[in-house]
Chains A and B, each alone.
Chain A
Amino acid sequence: MTIAEKEQEVIADFSLFENWMDKYAYLIELGKELPLIDEKYKTNQYLISGCQSRVWLHAELKEGKIFLTADSDAVITKGIASLLISVLSGHTPAEILEAKLDFLEQIGLKEHLSPTRANGLSSMVKQIMLYARAFQIKSKQE
Protein backbone atom coordinates (compact mmCIF):
# COMPACT_ATOMS: atom_id res chain seq x y z
CA MET A 1 0.00 0.00 0.00
CA THR A 2 1.22 3.49 -0.76
CA ILE A 3 1.34 6.19 1.89
CA ALA A 4 -1.65 7.91 0.27
CA GLU A 5 -3.64 4.67 0.38
CA LYS A 6 -2.78 4.20 4.04
CA GLU A 7 -3.88 7.76 4.74
CA GLN A 8 -7.21 6.99 3.07
CA GLU A 9 -7.57 3.93 5.26
CA VAL A 10 -7.07 5.96 8.42
CA ILE A 11 -9.59 8.52 7.21
CA ALA A 12 -12.09 5.72 6.56
CA ASP A 13 -11.50 4.32 10.07
CA PHE A 14 -12.15 7.69 11.64
CA SER A 15 -15.26 8.39 9.59
CA LEU A 16 -16.97 5.66 11.64
CA PHE A 17 -16.81 7.75 14.77
CA GLU A 18 -19.69 10.04 15.42
CA ASN A 19 -18.35 12.04 18.31
CA TRP A 20 -15.09 13.21 19.76
CA MET A 21 -15.27 10.71 22.63
CA ASP A 22 -15.18 7.71 20.32
CA LYS A 23 -12.41 9.31 18.32
CA TYR A 24 -10.28 9.93 21.38
CA ALA A 25 -11.13 6.53 22.85
CA TYR A 26 -9.78 5.01 19.61
CA LEU A 27 -6.63 7.15 19.79
CA ILE A 28 -6.11 6.09 23.37
CA GLU A 29 -6.47 2.45 22.34
CA LEU A 30 -3.91 2.95 19.59
CA GLY A 31 -1.65 4.64 22.10
CA LYS A 32 -1.88 1.75 24.49
CA GLU A 33 -1.23 -0.79 21.70
CA LEU A 34 1.70 1.00 20.10
CA PRO A 35 4.65 -1.38 20.12
CA LEU A 36 7.08 0.28 22.40
CA ILE A 37 10.36 1.65 21.29
CA ASP A 38 13.33 -0.44 22.38
CA GLU A 39 14.28 0.77 25.88
CA LYS A 40 17.81 1.50 24.70
CA TYR A 41 16.44 4.24 22.46
CA LYS A 42 14.51 5.96 25.24
CA THR A 43 17.35 8.35 25.84
CA ASN A 44 17.80 12.05 25.40
CA GLN A 45 19.36 11.42 22.02
CA TYR A 46 16.04 10.22 20.66
CA LEU A 47 13.89 12.61 22.63
CA ILE A 48 11.85 15.13 20.71
CA SER A 49 11.29 18.00 23.03
CA GLY A 50 7.69 19.08 22.99
CA CYS A 51 6.74 21.33 25.84
CA GLN A 52 4.59 18.97 27.84
CA SER A 53 4.72 15.36 26.80
CA ARG A 54 7.95 13.67 25.94
CA VAL A 55 8.23 11.78 22.68
CA TRP A 56 11.02 9.40 21.74
CA LEU A 57 11.44 8.50 18.11
CA HIS A 58 13.78 6.03 16.51
CA ALA A 59 14.27 5.42 12.80
CA GLU A 60 16.34 2.83 11.00
CA LEU A 61 16.91 1.99 7.38
CA LYS A 62 16.44 -1.64 6.32
CA GLU A 63 16.69 -2.63 2.66
CA GLY A 64 16.04 0.91 1.54
CA LYS A 65 13.02 1.41 3.77
CA ILE A 66 12.63 3.40 6.95
CA PHE A 67 11.21 1.70 10.02
CA LEU A 68 9.98 3.90 12.83
CA THR A 69 9.30 3.25 16.49
CA ALA A 70 8.20 5.73 19.10
CA ASP A 71 6.97 6.19 22.62
CA SER A 72 5.53 9.02 24.66
CA ASP A 73 4.58 9.48 28.26
CA ALA A 74 1.21 10.86 27.17
CA VAL A 75 -1.12 8.26 25.71
CA ILE A 76 -2.99 10.55 23.31
CA THR A 77 0.32 11.72 21.88
CA LYS A 78 1.28 8.07 21.60
CA GLY A 79 -1.93 7.35 19.74
CA ILE A 80 -1.19 10.05 17.21
CA ALA A 81 2.40 8.83 16.93
CA SER A 82 0.99 5.39 16.26
CA LEU A 83 -1.11 6.78 13.40
CA LEU A 84 1.90 8.51 11.91
CA ILE A 85 3.98 5.37 12.16
CA SER A 86 1.29 3.19 10.65
CA VAL A 87 1.17 5.49 7.66
CA LEU A 88 4.88 6.20 7.19
CA SER A 89 6.87 3.27 8.52
CA GLY A 90 8.11 0.77 5.94
CA HIS A 91 8.45 3.29 3.13
CA THR A 92 11.47 4.62 1.30
CA PRO A 93 12.96 7.99 2.22
CA ALA A 94 11.73 9.45 -1.08
CA GLU A 95 8.17 8.30 -0.46
CA ILE A 96 8.17 9.72 3.05
CA LEU A 97 9.57 13.05 1.90
CA GLU A 98 6.74 13.35 -0.60
CA ALA A 99 4.00 12.47 1.90
CA LYS A 100 1.42 15.20 2.39
CA LEU A 101 0.03 13.92 5.68
CA ASP A 102 -3.22 15.81 5.26
CA PHE A 103 -5.08 12.91 6.85
CA LEU A 104 -4.44 14.49 10.25
CA GLU A 105 -6.49 17.44 9.15
CA GLN A 106 -9.22 15.28 7.66
CA ILE A 107 -9.70 13.20 10.78
CA GLY A 108 -9.98 16.38 12.83
CA LEU A 109 -6.64 16.18 14.59
CA LYS A 110 -5.00 19.09 12.86
CA GLU A 111 -5.04 21.04 16.11
CA HIS A 112 -2.55 18.52 17.44
CA LEU A 113 -0.15 19.45 14.69
CA SER A 114 -0.09 23.04 15.76
CA PRO A 115 3.21 23.90 17.45
CA THR A 116 1.26 25.85 20.07
CA ARG A 117 -0.30 22.62 21.26
CA ALA A 118 3.15 21.88 22.50
CA ASN A 119 2.72 18.13 22.38
CA GLY A 120 5.77 17.50 20.27
CA LEU A 121 3.81 16.21 17.32
CA SER A 122 4.80 18.84 14.80
CA SER A 123 8.40 18.34 15.93
CA MET A 124 7.85 14.62 15.45
CA VAL A 125 6.79 15.04 11.82
CA LYS A 126 9.74 17.36 11.30
CA GLN A 127 12.06 14.81 12.86
CA ILE A 128 10.76 11.98 10.65
CA MET A 129 11.36 14.16 7.61
CA LEU A 130 14.88 14.93 8.81
CA TYR A 131 15.59 11.21 9.21
CA ALA A 132 14.23 10.56 5.73
CA ARG A 133 16.40 13.26 4.22
CA ALA A 134 19.48 12.05 6.07
CA PHE A 135 18.91 8.45 4.97
CA GLN A 136 18.33 9.61 1.41
CA ILE A 137 21.58 11.53 1.30
CA LYS A 138 23.43 8.66 2.92
CA SER A 139 22.13 6.06 0.48
CA LYS A 140 23.03 8.27 -2.48
CA GLN A 141 26.58 8.57 -1.18
CA GLU A 142 26.96 4.80 -0.85
Chain B
Amino acid sequence: MDIERIRKDFPILDQQVNGKPLVYFDNAATTQKPLAVVQRISDYYLKENSNVHRGVHHLSQVATEVYENARSYVAKYIHAEESKEIIFTRGTTESINLLANVLSPWIQAGDEIVISGMEHHSNLVPWQQLCEKSKARLRVLPVDLDGTLDLNFLEKMLTPQVKLLAITHISNVLGTVNPVKEIVKLAHEKGVPVLLDGAQGIAHAKVDVQDLGVDFYAFSGHKIYAPMGIGVLYGRFTWLRRLPPYQFGGEMIDQVTFEKTTFNELPYKYEAGTPNVSGALGLEAALRYVQQTGLDNIFKHEDRLLKYATEKLETVDGIRIVGHAKEKAAVLSFLINGIHPFDLGTLLDQMGVAVRTGHHCAQPLMDFYGIPGTVRASFGMYNTLEEVDIFADAVKKAVAMLR
Protein backbone atom coordinates (compact mmCIF):
# COMPACT_ATOMS: atom_id res chain seq x y z
CA MET B 1 0.00 0.00 0.00
CA ASP B 2 1.51 3.28 -1.15
CA ILE B 3 0.59 5.80 1.54
CA GLU B 4 2.10 8.73 -0.31
CA ARG B 5 -0.13 8.01 -3.27
CA ILE B 6 -3.16 7.59 -1.06
CA ARG B 7 -2.45 10.91 0.63
CA LYS B 8 -2.52 12.60 -2.78
CA ASP B 9 -6.11 11.41 -3.08
CA PHE B 10 -6.98 13.35 0.09
CA PRO B 11 -5.96 16.96 -0.63
CA ILE B 12 -7.41 18.19 2.69
CA LEU B 13 -4.55 16.51 4.53
CA ASP B 14 -2.03 18.79 2.88
CA GLN B 15 -2.56 21.89 5.00
CA GLN B 16 -1.16 23.78 7.95
CA VAL B 17 -3.01 24.20 11.22
CA ASN B 18 -1.70 26.83 13.59
CA GLY B 19 1.40 26.99 11.43
CA LYS B 20 2.09 23.26 11.68
CA PRO B 21 1.38 20.46 9.22
CA LEU B 22 -2.00 18.95 10.01
CA VAL B 23 -1.94 15.54 11.68
CA TYR B 24 -5.50 14.26 11.41
CA PHE B 25 -6.10 11.66 14.11
CA ASP B 26 -9.85 12.13 14.50
CA ASN B 27 -10.95 9.46 12.06
CA ALA B 28 -13.33 7.75 14.46
CA ALA B 29 -15.37 10.98 14.42
CA THR B 30 -15.25 11.32 10.67
CA THR B 31 -12.86 10.40 7.89
CA GLN B 32 -11.67 12.63 5.07
CA LYS B 33 -12.96 12.06 1.56
CA PRO B 34 -10.86 10.98 -1.40
CA LEU B 35 -11.08 12.82 -4.73
CA ALA B 36 -12.96 9.88 -6.22
CA VAL B 37 -15.84 10.53 -3.80
CA VAL B 38 -15.86 14.29 -4.29
CA GLN B 39 -15.70 13.77 -8.04
CA ARG B 40 -18.59 11.32 -8.00
CA ILE B 41 -20.84 13.75 -6.16
CA SER B 42 -19.81 16.55 -8.44
CA ASP B 43 -20.38 14.44 -11.56
CA TYR B 44 -23.84 13.56 -10.37
CA TYR B 45 -24.84 17.19 -10.04
CA LEU B 46 -23.09 18.19 -13.25
CA LYS B 47 -24.47 15.43 -15.43
CA GLU B 48 -27.09 13.20 -13.83
CA ASN B 49 -29.16 15.07 -11.27
CA SER B 50 -32.86 14.41 -11.35
CA ASN B 51 -35.42 13.05 -8.95
CA VAL B 52 -35.35 9.29 -8.77
CA HIS B 53 -38.11 6.73 -9.40
CA ARG B 54 -41.30 7.14 -11.40
CA GLY B 55 -39.76 9.65 -13.78
CA VAL B 56 -40.44 8.86 -17.40
CA HIS B 57 -37.77 11.16 -18.74
CA HIS B 58 -34.17 10.28 -19.49
CA LEU B 59 -32.40 12.01 -16.59
CA SER B 60 -34.76 10.58 -14.04
CA GLN B 61 -34.04 7.12 -15.36
CA VAL B 62 -30.30 7.75 -15.24
CA ALA B 63 -30.50 9.00 -11.66
CA THR B 64 -32.68 6.06 -10.64
CA GLU B 65 -30.30 3.62 -12.21
CA VAL B 66 -27.16 4.99 -10.58
CA TYR B 67 -28.95 5.25 -7.23
CA GLU B 68 -30.11 1.64 -7.39
CA ASN B 69 -26.68 0.54 -8.58
CA ALA B 70 -25.23 2.17 -5.47
CA ARG B 71 -27.64 0.14 -3.37
CA SER B 72 -26.58 -3.06 -5.12
CA TYR B 73 -22.95 -2.20 -4.58
CA VAL B 74 -23.48 -1.65 -0.86
CA ALA B 75 -25.36 -4.95 -0.70
CA LYS B 76 -22.44 -6.71 -2.34
CA TYR B 77 -19.94 -4.93 -0.12
CA ILE B 78 -21.51 -6.22 3.10
CA HIS B 79 -22.63 -9.42 1.38
CA ALA B 80 -26.35 -8.96 1.88
CA GLU B 81 -28.47 -11.55 0.17
CA GLU B 82 -30.52 -8.99 -1.73
CA SER B 83 -30.18 -5.29 -2.41
CA LYS B 84 -33.66 -4.62 -1.03
CA GLU B 85 -32.20 -5.38 2.39
CA ILE B 86 -30.25 -2.12 2.14
CA ILE B 87 -32.17 0.88 3.45
CA PHE B 88 -30.50 4.22 2.88
CA THR B 89 -30.66 6.52 5.90
CA ARG B 90 -28.86 9.62 7.10
CA GLY B 91 -26.44 7.59 9.18
CA THR B 92 -26.04 5.11 12.00
CA THR B 93 -28.10 7.15 14.43
CA GLU B 94 -31.05 7.38 12.07
CA SER B 95 -30.73 3.68 11.20
CA ILE B 96 -30.98 2.74 14.87
CA ASN B 97 -33.82 5.15 15.54
CA LEU B 98 -35.67 3.78 12.54
CA LEU B 99 -35.32 0.28 13.87
CA ALA B 100 -36.31 1.23 17.42
CA ASN B 101 -39.36 2.93 15.99
CA VAL B 102 -40.59 0.05 13.82
CA LEU B 103 -39.81 -2.58 16.44
CA SER B 104 -41.94 -0.83 19.03
CA PRO B 105 -45.08 -2.95 18.42
CA TRP B 106 -42.94 -6.03 19.18
CA ILE B 107 -41.83 -4.76 22.56
CA GLN B 108 -44.34 -5.30 25.37
CA ALA B 109 -44.39 -4.52 29.07
CA GLY B 110 -42.03 -6.89 30.87
CA ASP B 111 -39.89 -7.54 27.80
CA GLU B 112 -36.18 -6.84 27.86
CA ILE B 113 -33.68 -5.31 25.48
CA VAL B 114 -30.01 -6.02 26.09
CA ILE B 115 -27.21 -3.61 25.21
CA SER B 116 -23.61 -3.47 26.38
CA GLY B 117 -21.85 -1.04 28.69
CA MET B 118 -19.67 0.29 25.88
CA GLU B 119 -22.45 1.60 23.65
CA HIS B 120 -22.42 4.99 21.98
CA HIS B 121 -25.41 7.08 23.08
CA SER B 122 -26.91 6.41 19.64
CA ASN B 123 -27.20 2.71 20.43
CA LEU B 124 -28.40 3.33 23.95
CA VAL B 125 -30.87 6.21 24.10
CA PRO B 126 -33.23 4.93 21.34
CA TRP B 127 -33.55 1.63 23.25
CA GLN B 128 -33.86 3.34 26.59
CA GLN B 129 -36.67 5.51 25.23
CA LEU B 130 -38.40 2.53 23.64
CA CYS B 131 -38.22 0.62 26.91
CA GLU B 132 -39.62 3.57 28.79
CA LYS B 133 -42.51 3.86 26.36
CA SER B 134 -43.23 0.12 26.35
CA LYS B 135 -42.61 -0.44 30.07
CA ALA B 136 -39.89 -2.86 29.03
CA ARG B 137 -36.53 -3.22 30.74
CA LEU B 138 -33.17 -2.15 29.38
CA ARG B 139 -30.43 -4.46 30.60
CA VAL B 140 -26.75 -3.74 30.28
CA LEU B 141 -24.03 -6.31 29.71
CA PRO B 142 -21.13 -4.99 31.77
CA VAL B 143 -17.71 -4.19 30.34
CA ASP B 144 -14.63 -5.67 31.97
CA LEU B 145 -11.85 -3.33 33.05
CA ASP B 146 -9.74 -4.25 30.03
CA GLY B 147 -12.58 -3.15 27.76
CA THR B 148 -14.01 -6.51 26.73
CA LEU B 149 -17.38 -8.20 27.16
CA ASP B 150 -17.97 -11.37 29.12
CA LEU B 151 -19.85 -13.77 26.86
CA ASN B 152 -20.62 -16.19 29.68
CA PHE B 153 -22.42 -13.38 31.40
CA LEU B 154 -24.21 -12.49 28.19
CA GLU B 155 -25.48 -16.03 27.88
CA LYS B 156 -27.05 -15.76 31.33
CA MET B 157 -28.68 -12.45 30.44
CA LEU B 158 -30.41 -13.83 27.36
CA THR B 159 -33.60 -14.92 29.09
CA PRO B 160 -36.87 -15.60 27.27
CA GLN B 161 -37.95 -12.02 28.02
CA VAL B 162 -35.18 -10.62 25.82
CA LYS B 163 -36.57 -9.35 22.53
CA LEU B 164 -33.42 -7.77 21.08
CA LEU B 165 -29.69 -7.60 21.59
CA ALA B 166 -28.22 -4.30 20.37
CA ILE B 167 -24.47 -4.17 20.55
CA THR B 168 -21.57 -2.37 18.97
CA HIS B 169 -19.26 -4.09 16.52
CA ILE B 170 -16.25 -1.94 17.46
CA SER B 171 -16.16 0.45 20.41
CA ASN B 172 -15.60 4.07 19.45
CA VAL B 173 -13.89 4.71 22.79
CA LEU B 174 -11.97 1.54 23.57
CA GLY B 175 -11.30 0.26 20.09
CA THR B 176 -12.48 -3.17 21.22
CA VAL B 177 -13.51 -5.41 18.34
CA ASN B 178 -16.29 -7.48 19.83
CA PRO B 179 -16.56 -11.16 18.89
CA VAL B 180 -19.76 -10.41 17.04
CA LYS B 181 -20.07 -13.69 15.19
CA GLU B 182 -20.01 -15.56 18.47
CA ILE B 183 -22.38 -13.06 20.04
CA VAL B 184 -24.89 -13.44 17.21
CA LYS B 185 -24.65 -17.22 17.47
CA LEU B 186 -25.27 -17.10 21.22
CA ALA B 187 -28.25 -14.82 20.81
CA HIS B 188 -29.77 -16.85 18.00
CA GLU B 189 -29.52 -20.02 20.05
CA LYS B 190 -31.85 -18.26 22.48
CA GLY B 191 -34.04 -16.92 19.69
CA VAL B 192 -32.94 -13.32 20.21
CA PRO B 193 -32.43 -11.11 17.13
CA VAL B 194 -29.31 -8.93 16.99
CA LEU B 195 -28.57 -5.41 15.80
CA LEU B 196 -24.93 -4.52 15.36
CA ASP B 197 -23.91 -0.86 15.55
CA GLY B 198 -21.36 -0.78 12.77
CA ALA B 199 -20.44 2.92 12.92
CA GLN B 200 -16.80 1.99 13.55
CA GLY B 201 -17.06 -1.61 12.37
CA ILE B 202 -17.74 -0.75 8.75
CA ALA B 203 -14.36 1.00 8.41
CA HIS B 204 -12.16 -1.28 10.49
CA ALA B 205 -13.48 -4.80 10.00
CA LYS B 206 -14.67 -7.01 7.21
CA VAL B 207 -18.43 -6.96 7.31
CA ASP B 208 -20.20 -9.97 5.90
CA VAL B 209 -23.74 -9.88 7.23
CA GLN B 210 -24.54 -13.41 6.07
CA ASP B 211 -21.41 -14.86 7.61
CA LEU B 212 -22.14 -12.96 10.85
CA GLY B 213 -25.74 -14.14 10.65
CA VAL B 214 -26.79 -10.77 12.01
CA ASP B 215 -30.37 -9.55 11.71
CA PHE B 216 -29.64 -5.81 11.49
CA TYR B 217 -26.46 -3.86 10.81
CA ALA B 218 -26.33 -0.06 10.98
CA PHE B 219 -23.56 2.19 9.70
CA SER B 220 -22.68 5.67 8.45
CA GLY B 221 -20.96 6.50 5.21
CA HIS B 222 -18.83 9.29 6.60
CA LYS B 223 -16.81 6.98 8.83
CA ILE B 224 -15.62 5.11 5.75
CA TYR B 225 -14.49 8.00 3.52
CA ALA B 226 -17.98 8.66 2.15
CA PRO B 227 -19.93 11.91 2.53
CA MET B 228 -21.89 12.90 5.61
CA GLY B 229 -25.64 12.45 5.58
CA ILE B 230 -25.75 8.98 4.08
CA GLY B 231 -25.93 5.76 6.02
CA VAL B 232 -27.41 2.31 5.87
CA LEU B 233 -29.67 0.08 7.81
CA TYR B 234 -29.23 -3.48 6.70
CA GLY B 235 -32.07 -5.72 7.75
CA ARG B 236 -32.76 -9.32 6.82
CA PHE B 237 -35.60 -9.47 4.33
CA THR B 238 -37.67 -11.74 6.53
CA TRP B 239 -37.53 -9.06 9.23
CA LEU B 240 -37.99 -5.94 7.15
CA ARG B 241 -40.92 -7.49 5.31
CA ARG B 242 -42.80 -7.94 8.58
CA LEU B 243 -42.01 -4.60 10.18
CA PRO B 244 -44.26 -1.56 9.72
CA PRO B 245 -43.18 1.60 7.85
CA TYR B 246 -41.30 4.36 9.62
CA GLN B 247 -42.01 7.67 7.91
CA PHE B 248 -44.78 8.34 5.47
CA GLY B 249 -44.96 10.01 2.08
CA GLY B 250 -43.11 10.00 -1.22
CA GLU B 251 -41.68 6.85 -2.70
CA MET B 252 -42.77 4.66 0.21
CA ILE B 253 -46.38 4.91 -0.92
CA ASP B 254 -48.11 2.40 -3.20
CA GLN B 255 -51.77 3.50 -3.46
CA VAL B 256 -53.38 6.42 -1.71
CA THR B 257 -57.00 7.35 -1.32
CA PHE B 258 -58.34 9.60 1.40
CA GLU B 259 -59.58 6.50 3.16
CA LYS B 260 -56.55 4.26 2.98
CA THR B 261 -52.94 3.99 1.88
CA THR B 262 -50.99 0.92 0.92
CA PHE B 263 -47.25 0.94 1.09
CA ASN B 264 -44.57 0.24 -1.45
CA GLU B 265 -42.36 -2.80 -1.18
CA LEU B 266 -38.84 -2.99 0.19
CA PRO B 267 -36.59 -1.10 0.30
CA TYR B 268 -38.80 1.87 -0.67
CA LYS B 269 -41.13 1.21 2.24
CA TYR B 270 -38.43 2.73 4.42
CA GLU B 271 -37.34 5.58 2.17
CA ALA B 272 -39.97 8.28 2.48
CA GLY B 273 -39.27 11.53 0.69
CA THR B 274 -36.59 12.31 -1.86
CA PRO B 275 -33.52 10.29 -0.94
CA ASN B 276 -29.91 11.48 -0.69
CA VAL B 277 -28.94 10.27 -4.15
CA SER B 278 -25.55 12.00 -4.35
CA GLY B 279 -24.76 10.65 -0.90
CA ALA B 280 -25.50 7.11 -2.00
CA LEU B 281 -23.27 7.57 -5.05
CA GLY B 282 -20.54 9.01 -2.83
CA LEU B 283 -20.88 5.99 -0.56
CA GLU B 284 -20.50 3.64 -3.49
CA ALA B 285 -17.40 5.54 -4.66
CA ALA B 286 -15.91 5.39 -1.16
CA LEU B 287 -16.54 1.66 -0.81
CA ARG B 288 -14.98 1.10 -4.23
CA TYR B 289 -11.97 3.14 -3.17
CA VAL B 290 -11.58 1.06 -0.01
CA GLN B 291 -11.99 -2.15 -1.94
CA GLN B 292 -9.39 -1.12 -4.50
CA THR B 293 -6.95 -0.17 -1.79
CA GLY B 294 -7.63 -3.53 -0.19
CA LEU B 295 -9.27 -4.09 3.17
CA ASP B 296 -6.46 -6.32 4.37
CA ASN B 297 -3.85 -3.73 3.43
CA ILE B 298 -5.77 -1.01 5.23
CA PHE B 299 -6.35 -3.06 8.37
CA LYS B 300 -2.73 -4.15 8.50
CA HIS B 301 -1.56 -0.58 8.14
CA GLU B 302 -3.97 0.72 10.78
CA ASP B 303 -2.88 -2.02 13.13
CA ARG B 304 0.74 -1.01 12.66
CA LEU B 305 -0.18 2.61 13.44
CA LEU B 306 -2.11 1.57 16.54
CA LYS B 307 0.68 -0.64 17.89
CA TYR B 308 3.35 1.96 17.17
CA ALA B 309 1.32 4.76 18.79
CA THR B 310 0.63 2.56 21.80
CA GLU B 311 4.33 1.77 22.20
CA LYS B 312 5.24 5.44 21.90
CA LEU B 313 2.65 6.63 24.39
CA GLU B 314 3.52 3.97 26.90
CA THR B 315 6.79 5.82 27.51
CA VAL B 316 4.92 8.94 28.68
CA ASP B 317 5.04 9.32 32.44
CA GLY B 318 1.62 8.85 34.05
CA ILE B 319 -0.08 7.51 30.95
CA ARG B 320 -3.21 5.41 31.28
CA ILE B 321 -4.44 3.75 28.14
CA VAL B 322 -8.15 3.03 28.29
CA GLY B 323 -9.09 -0.21 26.54
CA HIS B 324 -6.75 -3.18 26.43
CA ALA B 325 -8.71 -5.66 24.40
CA LYS B 326 -6.62 -8.13 22.47
CA GLU B 327 -8.71 -7.48 19.40
CA LYS B 328 -8.49 -3.73 19.01
CA ALA B 329 -8.90 -1.48 16.00
CA ALA B 330 -7.55 1.94 15.06
CA VAL B 331 -8.65 3.73 18.25
CA LEU B 332 -6.30 4.78 21.05
CA SER B 333 -7.94 6.36 24.08
CA PHE B 334 -5.81 7.57 26.93
CA LEU B 335 -5.49 9.79 29.95
CA ILE B 336 -2.45 11.28 31.59
CA ASN B 337 -2.31 11.41 35.32
CA GLY B 338 -3.24 14.85 36.64
CA ILE B 339 -3.98 16.31 33.22
CA HIS B 340 -7.45 17.11 31.95
CA PRO B 341 -8.17 15.79 28.43
CA PHE B 342 -9.38 19.22 27.40
CA ASP B 343 -6.03 20.84 28.27
CA LEU B 344 -4.09 18.21 26.37
CA GLY B 345 -6.39 18.45 23.34
CA THR B 346 -6.08 22.25 23.29
CA LEU B 347 -2.28 22.13 23.27
CA LEU B 348 -2.17 19.32 20.69
CA ASP B 349 -4.34 21.48 18.44
CA GLN B 350 -1.81 24.28 18.80
CA MET B 351 0.75 21.83 17.45
CA GLY B 352 -1.41 20.89 14.47
CA VAL B 353 -2.58 17.55 15.87
CA ALA B 354 -6.33 16.88 15.65
CA VAL B 355 -7.59 14.48 18.30
CA ARG B 356 -10.90 14.27 20.08
CA THR B 357 -11.30 14.83 23.80
CA GLY B 358 -14.28 14.28 26.05
CA HIS B 359 -16.74 11.53 26.71
CA HIS B 360 -17.10 10.47 23.04
CA CYS B 361 -20.87 10.17 23.47
CA ALA B 362 -20.41 7.27 25.88
CA GLN B 363 -21.03 8.86 29.26
CA PRO B 364 -22.01 5.63 31.05
CA LEU B 365 -18.70 4.09 29.96
CA MET B 366 -16.82 7.09 31.35
CA ASP B 367 -18.71 6.68 34.62
CA PHE B 368 -17.74 3.02 34.69
CA TYR B 369 -14.07 3.91 34.44
CA GLY B 370 -14.56 6.86 36.78
CA ILE B 371 -12.98 9.32 34.35
CA PRO B 372 -14.20 12.65 32.93
CA GLY B 373 -13.31 11.63 29.40
CA THR B 374 -10.31 10.61 27.41
CA VAL B 375 -8.06 11.90 24.69
CA ARG B 376 -8.68 9.78 21.63
CA ALA B 377 -6.40 9.36 18.65
CA SER B 378 -7.98 7.37 15.85
CA PHE B 379 -6.39 6.32 12.60
CA GLY B 380 -7.30 6.00 8.97
CA MET B 381 -5.65 4.53 5.91
CA TYR B 382 -3.81 7.78 5.08
CA ASN B 383 -2.05 8.22 8.42
CA THR B 384 1.67 7.57 8.67
CA LEU B 385 4.18 6.40 11.24
CA GLU B 386 5.85 9.83 10.96
CA GLU B 387 2.58 11.40 12.03
CA VAL B 388 2.56 9.12 15.05
CA ASP B 389 6.03 10.44 15.90
CA ILE B 390 4.81 14.04 15.63
CA PHE B 391 1.79 13.17 17.76
CA ALA B 392 3.82 11.43 20.46
CA ASP B 393 6.31 14.32 20.62
CA ALA B 394 3.43 16.79 20.82
CA VAL B 395 1.91 14.82 23.71
CA LYS B 396 5.23 14.89 25.56
CA LYS B 397 5.65 18.61 24.97
CA ALA B 398 2.11 19.34 26.16
CA VAL B 399 2.56 17.20 29.25
CA ALA B 400 5.76 19.06 30.11
CA MET B 401 3.86 22.36 29.85
CA LEU B 402 0.91 21.20 31.91
CA ARG B 403 2.84 19.58 34.73
In the complex, per-residue mask of B339-351: 1 if CB is within 8 Å of any chain A CB, else 0: 0111100110010
Q: How many residues of B contact A (CB 8 A)?
A: 14
B18 at the interface (CB under 8 A from A): yes
B residues whose Cβ falls under 8 Å from a Cβ of A: 18, 340-343, 346-347, 350, 357-358, 372-373, 401-402
Please give, as numbers and ranges, the residues of chain B lying within 8 Å of A76 by CB-CB distance: 342-343, 346-347
Question: Nearest 7 A-B pairs (CB), nearest first?
Answer: A74-B340, A74-B342, A53-B342, A52-B342, A52-B358, A76-B343, A20-B350
Among the listed A20, A25, A28, A77, which residue makes an inter-chain contact with B342, where contact means beta carbons less than 8 Å apart?
A: A77
Given A51-B358, A53-B340, CB of A73 within 8 Å of CB of B372: yes
B401 touches A28 (CB 8 A): yes
Residues 64-88 (chain A) with a chain B CB within 8 angstroms = 73-77
Complex CA distance for A54 and B342, rounded to whole angstroms: 10
Give the shortest distance, in Å, between A44 (CB) and chain B (any CB).
15
Contact B340 A73 (CB under 8 A): yes
A52 and B357 CA atoms in complex are apart in Å by: 8
A54 and B346 alpha carbons, distance in the complex (Å) = 15
Give A residues with C-beta under 8 Å from B.
20-21, 24-25, 28, 51-54, 73-77, 118-119
**Could you write out 17 A-B pairs with CB less than 8 Å apart?**
A21-B350, A24-B350, A28-B401, A51-B358, A52-B342, A52-B372, A53-B342, A73-B372, A74-B343, A75-B340, A75-B343, A75-B402, A76-B346, A76-B347, A77-B342, A77-B343, A118-B358
CB B237 to nearest CB in A, in angstroms, measures 41
Q: Complex Cα distance A87/B231, Å?
A: 49
Give Cα A53 to B346, complex, Å.
12
Shortest distance between the CB of A20 and any CB in chain B (Å) = 5
Q: Which residue of B lies closest to A120 (CB)?
A: B342
Chain B residue nearest in CB terms to A32: B402
Q: How far is the CB of A112 from chain B (nearest CB, A)?
A: 8
- B359 shortest CB reach to chain A, Å: 8
Q: Which residues of chain A are within 8 angstroms of B373 by Cβ–Cβ distance?
A: 52
Q: Which residue of A has the minimal Cβ distance to B403? A: A28
When C-beta atoms are compared, the residue in chain B nearest to A54 turns out to be B372
Give Cα distance in the complex from A28 to B340, angstroms: 12
How many angstroms between the C-alpha atoms of A24 and B341 in the bound complex?
15
Contacts of A24 in B (CB 8 A): 346-347, 350, 401
Q: Which residues of B contact A119 (CB under 8 A)?
A: 342
Q: In the complex the two chains form, what is the Cα distance from A142 to B343 in whole Å? A: 43
Q: Looking at the assembled complex, report how far the CB atom of A39 sits from the nearest CB atom of chain B, in whole angstroms.
A: 19
**Nearest neighbor of A77 in chain B, beta-carbon distance:** B342
Residues of B close to A51: CB separation below 8 A: 358
Residue ID in chain A nearest B345 by CB atoms: A52
The distance in angstroms between the C-alpha atoms of A20 and B348, with both chains bound, is 12
Residue of A nearest to B398 (CB): A24
In angstroms, Cα B358 to Cα A51, docked, is 8
Q: Report which of B346, B372, B401 forms a contact with A21, defined as CB distance below 8 A.
A: B401
